[in-house]
Structure formats: structure tokens, C-alpha cells
Amino acid sequence: MAADMADTLSPYDSLPEHLRVLVTDQVEHQGQLALHCLSVDQRSMLEHFRTQQGYDFLVDMTAIDHLGMDQTERFEVVYVLRRLGENSQQFRLHVWLSEDSPDLPTVFDLWDSARWGERETHDMFGITFEGNPDLRRFLMPEDYPGFPLLKDYPLRGVGERRQFPRVVPRGDQMVEEEPEDYPTSIGRGMHTPEYTEEVRRDSKPK
Amino acid sequence: MGLESLIGGEGFLTTTVNSIVNWGRKNALWPMPFGTACCAIEMMATFSGRYDISRFGAEVVRFSPRQADLLIVSGRISLKMMPVLQKIYRQMPEPKWVISMGACASCGGVFDTYTLIQGVDQFIPVDVYVPGCPPRPESLLDALLEIQNLVGEERFDSGKHGS
Amino acid sequence: MTPSPNRGTRDTPVPTAETLEKELEKGWKSHRAGVRPSQVTEVVEDDGSGRLVMNFGPQHPATHGTLRSIFTLEGETIVKADVEIGYLHTGFEKLGENMTYQQWVTVSDRMNYLSAINNNVGYSVAVEQLLGIEVPPRCAALRVIMSELSRIADHILCVGLQGMDLGAFSVMLWAFEKRELVYDIIEAVCGARLTTSWTRVGGIIRDVPEFFPDLVYSFLDEFPPLLDEIHLMLLNNRIFVDRVKQIGVLTEDQARSWGITGPIGRASGFDVDVRRDQPYLGYDKYDFKVPVQTEGDSFARYMQRMEEIEQSLEIIRQAMATLPSGPVVHDDFKTSLPTKDAVHNDMESLIHHFKLVMLGHGIQPTAGASIYSATEAPCGELGFFIASDGSDTAYRLRIRPPSLYNYGFFPRLVEGGMISDAVAVLSSFHIIAGELDR
């Protein structure tokens, strides 16, 4: 069995020749290995590690958005794989994913933990995992249009947190009003442009 | 001893309807805990042994808003949670009071992010704010006493919010 | 394959900020009050089958927070279960891209608020590993002691709430009373009860007070009787035992495949514990066992937590006995903040402090470096994936919350059981919404 051979080897060395050529880069930082590959090879790599090398624990998966950075592609999907038992081993597989078609094949049939990992990655980055039956919104509301962890999404959102009516009792009735505009920074968050301007103005030497 | 020794078994008191109703209301507030995050744990600590909110008559925690008259919003309220909070607020019968417990519920706290409501008072009326992240149980007890003062000022005939 | 409802066409794969603003202006109405909150499952029309769709949460006493389940019932049996999360989504990961490494420690408290110190420690260990620095031995030992105290506080609360949900209310009150002892220690050490912000990258905020050993030793004396009391209350309680035994059985293979770690995984025989497998902070110096159960039911999860508390007490005893003296902050002040005393009394420390907290001079890991670092939090493996671009803030900060993966299997686990079993299973899972939704 291949696993016997692979015991002491690093994940890269344990790969067979036809898969080793698919690794575009290997990065080591503080003793942790990260293999990079392209999105077309993701499925065959992960399948090999799961079925041939016994990496039976998908610890985590996530993505990185490299908007405007000088990188191979815009998205980088990260899988953290771990093999348990005597020959325990852990490494990461980074998959480059193009902005034009952010699709990857799903791996939930290999590890069930990928079901929610993929769903969250989809919810936060808009990356689609072909074959995953359950890619509904996860953390954000159902009909929400944006993907918050993209780099061009502002930290304070684009006004969605103000889109509620104000519910006030009037006699026996509950009526809905448009929310009041607050003169202070309360209700608008800490760092609105007006607030920053105010602070700058006040802190100027007289 | 107390009042009973002065008025005896057959005695009587004169008071106004307003006072007696307010006296009853403010010493038997039934809170509805809307706990979401860290503040909810401090709220639970307030309800349990060491801090013992029942000293102030507010230990009857009702998880159904229909049976409660004090809403304690403790914890951060997100985009998804706000409609739920409003629904619960609507379901509470009049008169009702609201405590906004903690920095997140009052103004968003450290979380000035896309998903967090920057103060629930934008969308429902709030009577008492409790500062702190999370507030200590003593702060919540203090807020309860504030609410009791507010209840004491009510007019029985016109209702809390006027009609 | 189900196409995502929110995907744009191929020409515009992901919405930009401008298109998003237009979309939101067009209306995004399901969240106005009066309209029902987001409903993830289709509403089942009355098809004459007598099935009932029941909504459970997000505001329900048995959910301990903001979890929401949607059960399709046939009589009292759950034939289909679905969960919706995100009611406490706060944007921790986005904040991590906008705050400096030291600042984010404050935010990490609010993830698993029952054991904030474990989050602080986990995050600090991750950044230290990214930078390649090692904290002084006293700092490591103190971190271990405080983590284990937090773990005890977390587990005992879970057991108490499990008792409360199943009708043993006294257990919860007793648990809370003894939990206050842990709070006293935490308060003496860092001044806050819940949101501690105790660690710093490269150390801790300050050394513990002189009376710290007294507090810990009196805790070690006072706390263990509670364990016997709780066992006495619950193991002889026929209602409790009948409601948890053979309920919600999770097998080892399921735990492995779904990534279920921590006490839940170990109660099913999935024997992983980061403290033993990948020791950090010198956990390999302490002699402790990792308890494992084989049954995998709710009762095993209860027993698992109680046994883990005993092991944690053992670790605290050993760590207190061998607590070294010395500094508590790493001595490279290019990365670690000097202690407050030094900042107030020493010019050089003041300069270090000033430089570190000013933008552009703080902790700047190598550009392109990334790390996945795991620690054992009370709920399971708490991982941080940090990618750096060489600036003061992380380029990407990903949290692997144990609750997220633990909760993934919950809907399948309760299918086929009764509603009351779902409550028993949920309380034994101990899902922390703050960590689940981040």
C-alpha cells in the first residue's frame, strides 16, 4: 500500500510522479508545509491524499481574496489536511482559483466536514463548489446580495445595517417609523467619515 | 416591626390607585431575557446564586414575551437577529420596558462591522442602557432599580406611552 | 448541482462594492419587521400527510443563545431537521483584516465568551508561531493554568445547563456558584470577569498578583467536592439518566469525517487532543490523560466533560507546583509589548510601546507567510489560519471554530428521534453561538 511508503516522507515527496508535476509551488514557514496547485488539479490531488495516503481529517477549509495583489489568481482556496495515528502528518493545500470562473469541484464526498466548510466559503467569498447540494446562504441573510469577506467589500458594509424600520408603541398600536438620524456617533458606528472629520477638526491646534 | 404592627389586624391604609398599581408592578417585574452573547452569561450569573436578582423581585424569568414586561437585550444584535428582536418586542403586552445591556446592544461596541446593529435603540425604544463589556451583575441590578424608578413614575390611566 | 441563488452571471462573477450598493437600494425587504425572518427551508404545504414543520429558536431557552432549528415532525418524531446559523454573525474575520495583531486579542474574547482565555491563548500562540517566537516559561505555565481554569468553568457550565434542560435546575445553580470561584481568579489576574483580553502577542499583560497561588490552591480545595455532588445529583436521577443514555449516538467514523473534535468527538472514541498530539506551551511537560469514551451518546458526553475536569485539575496542580519565576513577556520588544509598569517607569519601554501601537511600526510578519495553528479549546480544536502580507494587519485571518464543525452533524443526529431528544442532544453538544457564527 502506498501509505507504507509515504510514512516518513513529506507530503510532496510522497506524491507519485504524475501528481508531483502538478504542484506549482511548495512553501514552508515555521515547519509548516503548504503545497500550491491549480484549480483543475484540486480534485485529483485531494482524492489522492484522502484515498491513497489516509488523510482522513479535513481540519478546515477557507479562502483568501488577493484582489489587486500581484498573485497567480485572485482566489486561493486553502485546505488543511491531517492524518492521524502513528504517522501523523499535517499540511495545507492551496488551490489557485481564477476570478473569471470561481468554481471548484466539491469534496464533500471525501470528507463530510467539507459540507459546511464549502458552504461558508461560498457565503463569504461567492466561490461555487460544483456538486455541493447545499450552498444556501450560511451566516448572512438568505436574500443578501453581497459577499462580505471580499477585499472590496467595506468593513462597515454599504448601509445594510440601517435598513430596518423603527418599531414604536403608540397607544395600543405598534407602528413602524423610519429610524431617526442620531446627532452623535452612537448608532452610526465608531468611525463614520463625519466622526473622523469631527475628531480631526477638534484635535487641530487652535 | 413593620407596617403590620402599626396598623394592627383591622387597620386600613389610604392610597391612590396609581401608587398601589405601580408598587405592585415595580416589585414584580417579569423579565424576558433576550440573551445572545457574552452579556447573556453575565445575565445568567445575575439570576443565579451569588448575585440573586430575586432580592429585587425580578427572578421570574419568562421565556415567552407574552408573559413578560421587561425585555433585557443582552448581547450583540446582528442583521439576522434584528427582525426577531422586533417581533419579540411587538409580542410583549403593554406596559413594557427595555434594558439595553452592554456596549454591543447599546452602540455596537467594538464591532463596527457590516453585520452588527449599531445600537438597538435605533429600531426599538430603550429605557435604560447598561454600559460595560460585559457589564458586571451589579450594573444590571442597578439598571433594574432604575427601571423600578421609571415604573414608579407611571400614570396608571394614560399608560406608558400615552394614548 | 444546485446553482447558487446569489451568484451573478459568468460575466460578473462577484459583485463589487458599487453593484452591491445598487442591489441594496433596489430593495432587500425580507428583513423588514413584520416579514418573517429568513426561512431556509421551503414551507411545506399541507399535503395531507399530517406532517408539521416546527420552528425551534433562534430565541428559545433550550438553544442557549441564538441557534435555530427547523424540524419536520410526524407526531413527535423528527423526520427531517435543518439548522440555520448566523444569528450572531459579527464579522470577526473581517475585523482581523482591519485591526493590528495586538488589537485583535480584544476581539478574540468575544468568540467563546464562556472561556475567553482559551481564545486569547489560542490566538496569541498562533501569532507567535507565525513570528517564530517563544514565550518565557513562566508565561507559558501561567497560560496553561488559566486555560485549564477556563476549561473547567466552561465544562461545568455545560454540565449545569445540561442538567437544567433536563429538569435538574439545582445543578445549574450549584455550577454557577462554583464557577464564580474561577471568575474570582480571573478577575484578580486581569480585572475582568468574562472578556479578559489577558494575553498579548509575546506574553501576558502583567504578572499575576502575589495572592494568586492562594486563590488557586483554595479553588483546588473547594472545587472538587462539586464534582461528586453533581454526580450524586445526576447519576441517581432516573429522569436525567433515561433521557441521555442511548440518545444521540455519534459513531467514531462520523466524528472523524465531520471533523467533530473536543469532548464530543472524544466521547465517541475519536481520540484527538491538540494538547497531547501537537503540544504547545509546554503541555508535554505535564502528566495527564486524555479520557475517551466509547458509547458516543449524550451520557458519554456528560461523563467525558466530568472526567476532563478532573484532568484539568491535575494539570493545574502540576503547573502550580512547578511554576517557574522570571519574566512573563518575550524579551524582543520589536514584537511584544513591554509590561505596563515598565512603560510607566522606563523611557526605553515607553518608546517600544509607542512604536508598537503606532500603525506602520507594529508586528510585521514576513510577507507571504501563512500559518495554521491549533490549540485545544473547551469545545474542541480552535484553529487560526493567518496569512500575512507584511503589514501591521493580517491579510487574512481565518478562525476554525470547534463549534462550527461540531454543529454540522447535529441535524442528522436528531433525525429519527423525538423533539425532547433534540433538546437533550443539543445541551450535550454545548454549541457556543458566538464562536459558531463569529
Instruction: Tell me: do A107 and A181 sit in the same domain.
Output: no
Estimate to the nearest angstrom the gap between the alpha carbon of C87 and the chain centroid.
16
Q: Does C40 touch chain B if contact means CB atoms closer than 8 Å?
A: no
Candidates B49, B82, B84; nearest CB to C173: B49
**Residue A67 domain flag:** yes
- For the stretch B66-123, pLDDT in tens is 899 899 999 888 888 888 888 888 888 888 899 999 888 888 888 888 888 888 888 8
Assess contact for C131 and C428: CB atoms under 8 A.
no
Chains near A with 3+ CB pairs less than 8 A apart are B, C
- B118: nearest CA in chain A? A187
DSSP string, A149-206: TSTTS-TTTTSGGG-SPEEEEETTEEEEEPPPPPSSSTTT-S--HHHHHHHHHHTS--
C20-49 residue pLDDT tens: 666 666 655 544 434 444 443 445 555 667
Contact residues, A window 178-197, toward C, CB-based 8 Å cutoff = none
Q: Which distant-in-sequence residues (6+ apart) come within 8 Å of B22 by Cβ?
A: B151, B152, B153, B154, B156
Q: Which residues of B touch C89 (CB under 8 A)?
A: 78-80, 115
Q: Which three cell numbers stand for residue C310?
A: 478532573
> For residue C8, what pLDDT is reported?
36
The answer to whether residue C110 neighbours chain B at the CB level (below 8 Å) is yes
Which of A60, A99, A118, A125 would best serve as a mutation to test chain C binding (most C beta carbons within 10 A)?
A60
Asked whether residue C79 is assigned to any structural domain, the reply reads no
Kindly list the domain boundaries of chain B, sorted by start residue.
14-152
Q: Do A161 and B159 touch (CB under 8 A)?
A: no
Look at residue C373 and tell me if it is in a domain: yes
Strand segments (E) across C45-138: 52-56, 68-74, 77-84
CA distance A125 to A114: 16
For residue C116, what are the domain limits?
92-437
Quick one: A49 and A112 in the same domain?
yes
- The type of residue at C267 is A
Fold for B14-152, please state it: Rossmann fold (3.40.50)
Q: Is the pLDDT of residue A4 over 70?
A: no
Instruction: Say whether both A92 and A187 belong to one domain.
Output: no
Q: Are residues A83 and A126 in the same domain?
A: yes
Is A177 in the same domain as A79?
no
Residue B58 distance to chain A (closest CA, Å): 24
Range with lowest mean pLDDT among A103-117, B40-54, C63-77, C228-242: C63-77
pLDDT at residue number C392: 83
d(CA C185, CA B67): 38
CB contact under 8 A, C40 and A32: no
C-alpha cell at C234: 445526576
A99 and A33 together in one domain: yes
pTM above 0.90, yes or no: no
Q: Tell me the pLDDT tens digit for each residue of C304-331.
A: 999 999 999 999 999 999 999 888 888 8
Pick the residue of C31, C66, C158 with the most B CBs within 10 A to test the interface with B by mutation.
Answer: C66
Is A135's CB within 8 Å of C132's CB?
no
Q: Check: CB of residue C135 under 8 Å from CB of residue C330.
A: yes
Chains that touch C (3 or more CB pairs under 8 A): A, B
Q: Is the ipTM above a cut-off of 0.95?
A: no
Nearest chain A residue to B81 by CA distance is: A141
A33 and A79 co-located in one domain? yes
The verdict on residue A153 lying in a domain is no
Name subunits touching B (3+ CB pairs < 8 A).
Answer: A, C
A172 and A107 co-located in one domain: no
Nearest Cα neighbor of C433 from B37, B26, B70, A44 is B37
Average pLDDT over residues B14-35: 88
A122 touches chain C (CB under 8 A): yes
Residues A43 and A51: their CA atoms lie apart, in Å, by 12
Out of A104, A130, A156, a domain closes at A130
Q: Does one domain contain both A85 and A25? A: yes
Q: β-strand B70-74 against B97-101: which pairing, if any?
A: parallel
pLDDT value at residue C7: 39
Where residue A180 falls among pLDDT bands split at 50, 70, 90? low
**Could you tell me the CATH number of the domain that includes residue C162?**
1.10.645.10
Task: From B129, A65, A175, select the one nearest C13 (Cα to Cα).
Answer: A65
Q: How many domains does chain C have?
A: 1
**B55 Cβ contact partners less than 8 Å away, ≥ 6 residues apart:** none
Looking at the structure, tell me whether residues A125 and A171 fall in a common domain.
no
Query: What domain count does chain A have?
Result: 2
Closest Cβ–Cβ partner in C33, C86, C398 for A176: C33
In terms of domains, do A15 and A88 share one?
yes
Chain A to chain C Cβ contacts (< 8 Å): 179
Cβ atoms of C81 and C411 closer than 8 Å: yes
Q: Which residues of chain C have pLDDT under 70?
A: 1-48, 62-63, 359-360
In a domain, A143, yes or no: no
Give per-residue pLDDT as tens, A44-64. Answer: 889 988 888 888 889 999 999
Of the candidates B49, B78, B110, which has its C-beta nearest C107's C-beta? B110
Eight-class DSSP state of C30: G
Q: How high does pLDDT run on average in chain B?
A: 85
A139 within a domain of the structure (yes/no) = no
Task: For residues B124-137, give the mean pLDDT.
Answer: 89
- Residue B76's nearest CA partner among B40, B50, B42 is B40
Question: Do the Cβ atoms of C91 and B111 come within 8 Å?
Answer: yes
B124 touches chain C (CB under 8 A): no
Q: Least CB-CB distance to C177: which of B50, B80, B87?
A: B50
- With contact defined as beta carbons under 8 Å apart, do C392 and C377 qualify? no
Q: Do A160 and B114 touch (CB under 8 A)?
A: yes
Residue C334 located in a structural domain: yes
Q: Provide the CATH number for the domain around residue A108.
A: 3.30.460.80
pLDDT at A187: 54
| Residue C131 resides in a domain | yes
* End position of a domain, from candidates A130, A156, A188: A130
Chain A residues within 8 A of C86 when measuring between CB atoms? 137-141
A-chain residues near B94 (CB < 8 A):
169, 172
Write down which residue in A130, A156, A177 finishes a domain: A130
Q: H-type helices in C223-324, by residue range?
A: 224-235, 238-244, 252-258, 262-267, 274-277, 298-321
**What domain range is A106 assigned to?**
2-130
Q: Are residues A118 and A72 in the same domain?
A: yes
pLDDT tens-place string over residues C92-109? 998 888 888 888 898 898
Which residue has cell 488557586? C216
Interface of A with C in 130-149 (CB under 8 A): 130-149
Give the whole-angstrom CA distance, residue C73 versus residue C50: 9
Would you state the pLDDT for residue B163? 40
